[in-house]
A and B are shown apart, each in its own frame.
Chain A
Amino acid sequence: MKPIFQRSALALCHAVFAACCLCPALAPARGAAAELWVGAATADITPDRPIPLTGGTAVRIGREIQNRLTANVLALESRDGQRSLDQAILVACDLCVIRPGIQEGFRKHLAGRLPGFDLGKLVLAATHTHTAPVILQDRYDEKDYEDAMQPKEYVPWLYEQIGEAVVKAWENRAAGAVAWGLGHAVAGHSRRVVYSDGSVRMHGDASVPEFRGIEGYEDHAVHILCFYDARKRLKAAAITLATTAQAEGGSKVSADFWHDVRRLIHARHGAEVSVLGFCAPAGDQTPRAQVRRKSEMRMCEFRGLTYSQEIGRRVASAFEDVAGVIAKDIRTDVPLVHRAVPLELPARIVSEAEYAVARKVCEDIDAKQTPAKSDRWTRTLYGSVADRYLAQQKGEAKTYEMELHVLRLGDVAIATNPFELFLDYGVQIEARSPALQTFLIQLAGASREHAYYLPTPRAMAGGALNDKPFTNYSATVMTNMVGPEGGQMLVDRTVATIQELWKD
């Protein structure tokens, strides 16, 4: 893996970030009740030309737009008169992943354009739609991009689009209000199917006699934050639920079910409302159910909806239901505190056996006269395993660096991580959090390295790395930079940081 930016530049960014975040003047110990200022804006991040779509083993060229990709921006500031007490800018992007270097590059792009805002408190998060542009140039073979917009062209354009929205949101912030609530929507399903021999397969066949169950839990909570202007008109909504935006897929550009959520909310509350769709820890979840698929599709047919529209309907219904209820409890004088903590997690160690498997796969691919289209993807992943092992042997690559953002907003905690974090970790954080509601956001701004999946011990038991990349996919070393040891540390540090914000 090659980072987009030079390590030296990144190191500088990290140093500035850490200094900003740890500076007591900018990060008060606890937010006193103060005036909440809210700004919001939306950027269209859909280029009007063919784009390579990410999230698959081979590149797909998106030549048609099913619906438009957006980035929705929320700017928050806690103020005491003219004094800024704390601040945050959260951006929910219809992208698959905020790849390494993208968040840092975007902060750099914004340098000097947001007077009074600490760029270390800006967070980009992805909804994980797999029908959005590739944003790393070397993700696939350049010739496979054909006539489509190259990632190296898309990323600067993306920065421009989101940048304008961020500036707009920051500039239009004004005294406002917030309300929070909890609803439910059956949107995410555990996707790891367990068989009688103990093996696990993502989206495995549940109709075979060896099927024994679904590996883990599901969480159908929908956490909702509504932000209002001074006249209590809805200005923005943040919605967090434990599923990725992968209801449909295909080769048309699409924001997946978030498009449908926004469409329904806009129809009710106005097109100017920014709707931030966040993905809670859901490394083992997707909208696709492992059982009952035919009957679900029959119900979609009755409704005249696609599955993506159906998921959108459920989430938007939960939103409407909750928004109506919490309108009775709108707050203006809530504490806002934002901690941004650099964190180093122990890396998942590559074993010698795993190294041997990876090296063999790479050698076999390298020896091919005519590689398959997916070989680049496979080679990259296995190659990374081999590289990590060699780096380990030299005493390097023992940790994974990330930014942990934790916010307190009234009775609500918000905490981020860059992984596809298995749900159990999210459940732990929520259960141990002292906040009334804990909004968790995964796929938020990876730092230097890919974050990939962060699995549980039980997921790892579903199968070891072999030459078939989809064996126990999401829980082998191939797609885990960090394993359960680091996962537990992430949970403990996140909980501890939230607890800090609830002291007294």
Chain B
Amino acid sequence: MRCLTRLSILWGISVALAGLASGGLAAGAELLIGGATTSITPDQPIALDGQFHTRISRGVDNPITATAVAIEARQADRGADQAVLVSCDLVAIRPVLLSALRQRLAEKLPEVDARKVIFTATHTHTSGVTEEGKYEIPKEGVMQPSQYVTFLADRLEQLIGNAWRARRPGGVSWGVGHAVVGYNRRAVYANGTAAMYGKTDRPDFRGIEGYEDHGLELLFFWNTGEQKPLAVAVNVACPSQEVEGGSKINADFWHDVRQQFQTGDYKDVLVLGWPAAAGDQSPHRMYRKAAEQRMLKLRGLSYTQEVARRIVGEINEVCGLVRNDVRTDIPFVHTVEDVALPVRKVTEKEAAAAQAEIDALAKKGGAARRQLWQQKVVDRYRQQDKEPTLAVEVHALRLGDVAIVTNPFELFLDYGVQMQGRSKALQTFVLQLTCGSAGYLPTERAVKGGGYSAIVASNRVGPEGGQVLADRSVEMINSMW
């Protein structure tokens, strides 16, 4: 990710790589599909990413993994287009990690176009830190972020190579299911303010700020002649952060999804967990908590197991319906652009407030992470006239009747719904937290309500940029139809 210097080139110097060879639709090409999975569980204690305070892992609840599906369209024995879809049990794909991965792939796997490898984080808050300087981490006995980046580069390079080499003729099928997983986490009050995870039993509670989407977009990958899918990609509008405050390595509900799904006939079927636009969603219940808890008790399940039960039930159901509709002779196109988005401008008042908080925290001592967070606001205020845009990597793919579009944000759901509503595809998979980490991208109504996730410190890009992102994403999709 890099900042562009001129607003006038909002769309400018976008790099469109529409197909390795021709840039056109790879219609009627043969699809080659391969897959692999690997553990990315660090073998020593590590700082956990996703909270303001430092947590050092005290063991492993369950393994965190990365899973890859490699797709190549071949026409007349030539590669027409390709994509490697990688889902990682990480909180985010930090820029430092992304560039390390791309560099490694360019060096070691030249047959794969590193730019067409799509890394998505599931947003588990119980995975390792990959960015130096973000947390105060003991130097001894703890895997350092840069060490973990190297560890990940080793594992993911191997993973992608394995998936690429495993390519065999195959096809895809797609379907929609439903699972109540993500809940809108922003409570609104009588005075117009909003709060993430705000209390809902207060007399001044007025409702939930926005929408929820309990649709489950499902994409099944098949190798010819196999009775079971090679992999399933599950796009759910919810980050995996039910156990977010924990202090053990944990893949959150995706672990349970894998465990419950990969049994019987579906043993070894790979699962790609893909968070859809869900900046304002989480698995945490905003009300009705006691009733949900009672049902868990009666079922004898943890909440992550319950979430998995809901998702896996649908995967099984939909797989049964679409298994006879596997398509091999379909258009496959993959484009990637750096889209320049106008940044959310820091006001003078906001910069002053950030500086005041930094000063207050410095006086008290500690809270380095929070100071750093506010320092970025002050820095942005100083730089924003010189750097009015933020370039973000956006991928758009057409795979038969399915569109896949990515962004690096915790993107508020409304933008994802816009993309789905306006897309010409039968099904549109929106992948957030992909190929970068650019913070929350809130809606206008969220900015009005305030609260964490919609304040300037949480938003490098605001509603203006969000609309640009939505519009460009839709254009990229629809240009393929």
Contact = CB atoms under 8 A, between A and B. Distances in A.
Interface of A: 181-186, 190, 206-209, 211-214, 216-218, 220-221, 290-292, 294-296, 298-299, 302-303, 314, 322, 325-326, 328-329, 423-424, 427-428, 430-432, 436-437, 456, 492
A190 B209 CA distance: 13
Contacts of B205: 428, 431-432
Contacts of A181: 294-295, 298
Contacts of A216: 207-208, 210-211
A302 B322 contact: yes
Contact of B176 (A190, A207, A292, A427): A292
Interface in B286-317: 286-288, 290-292, 294-295, 298-299, 310
A326 B291 CA distance: 12
A431 B180 contact: no
Interface residues of B, number: 46
A184 B417 CA distance: 21
B214 A328 contact: no
B399 to A, nearest CB: 14
A218 B288 contact: no
Contact of B471 (A209, A298, A329): A209
Contacts of A209: 422, 471, 474
A206 B176 contact: no
Judged by DSSP, the binding face of B is mixed
B422 A431 contact: no
Nearest to A422: B207
A206 B422 contact: yes
Contact of A182 (B206, B207, B215, B288): B288
20 contacts: A183-B295, A186-B180, A212-B418, A213-B414, A216-B207, A217-B208, A220-B214, A221-B288, A291-B420, A291-B421, A295-B175, A299-B321, A303-B321, A322-B295, A430-B288, A431-B201, A431-B287, A432-B201, A436-B291, A437-B291
A428 B202 CA distance: 9
A456 B322 contact: no
A181 B178 CA distance: 20
A215 B298 CA distance: 35
Interface string B204-247: 01111011101100000000000000000000000000000000
Contacts of B340: none
A294 B443 contact: no
A301 to B, nearest CB: 10
Nearest to B299: A325
A208 B184 contact: no
A487 to B, nearest CB: 10
A326 B298 contact: yes
B316 to A, nearest CB: 13
B203 interface: yes
B99 interface: no
Interface string B313-333: 000001001100100000000
A259 B299 CA distance: 29
Interface in B156-178: 175-178
Q: Which of B184, B203, B291, B474 has the most chain A CB atoms inside 10 A of its CB? A: B291
A440 to B, nearest CB: 12
Contacts of B290: 436
B473 to A, nearest CB: 12
Contacts of A213: 210-211, 413-414, 417-418, 443
A492 B295 CA distance: 28
A492 B203 contact: yes
B426 interface: yes
Interface of B: 175-178, 180, 184, 200-203, 205-208, 210-212, 214-215, 286-288, 290-292, 294-295, 298-299, 310, 318, 321-322, 325, 413-414, 417-418, 420-422, 426-427, 443, 471, 474
Contacts of A328: 298
Judged by DSSP, the binding face of A is mixed
Contacts of A295: 175-176, 426-427
B207 A217 contact: yes
B70 to A, nearest CB: 26
Nearest to B184: A217
B321 A424 contact: no
A186 B178 contact: yes
A46 B259 CA distance: 50
Nearest to B444: A212
B211 A325 contact: no
Contacts of B422: 206-209, 211
Contacts of A427: 200, 207-208, 287
A212 B443 CA distance: 9
A303 to B, nearest CB: 7
Contacts of A492: 203
Contacts of A190: 211
- List the 6 shortest-distance A-B pairs measured between CB atoms, nearest first: A206-B421, A424-B207, A213-B414, A431-B287, A431-B200, A186-B178
Q: Which of A206, A218, A430, A437 has the most chain B CB atoms inside 10 A of its CB? A: A218
A290 B417 CA distance: 9
A207 B421 contact: yes
Given A182-B292, A217-B210, 20 more contacts: A181-B295, A211-B418, A212-B418, A213-B413, A217-B208, A218-B212, A292-B427, A303-B321, A325-B298, A423-B207, A427-B200, A427-B207, A428-B206, A431-B200, A431-B288, A432-B202, A432-B203, A436-B291, A437-B291, A456-B206
A182 B418 contact: no
Contacts of B474: 209
B412 to A, nearest CB: 9
Contacts of B291: 182, 436-437
Nearest to B212: A218
A303 B203 CA distance: 45
A190 B474 CA distance: 23
B175 A299 contact: yes
Contact of B421 (A183, A290, A325): A290
A437 B426 CA distance: 38
Contacts of A296: 176
A325 B292 CA distance: 13
B288 A298 contact: no
Contact of B211 (A217, A326, A437, A456): A217
A392 B310 CA distance: 52
A214 B211 contact: yes
B286 to A, nearest CB: 7
A326 B299 CA distance: 9
A186 B215 contact: yes
A142 B70 CA distance: 67
Nearest to B322: A302
A213 to B, nearest CB: 4
A497 to B, nearest CB: 15
Nearest to B180: A184
Given A190-B211, A212-B418, A299 B176 contact: yes
A437 B299 CA distance: 17
Q: Which of B200, B318, B413 has the most chain A CB atoms inside 10 A of its CB? A: B200
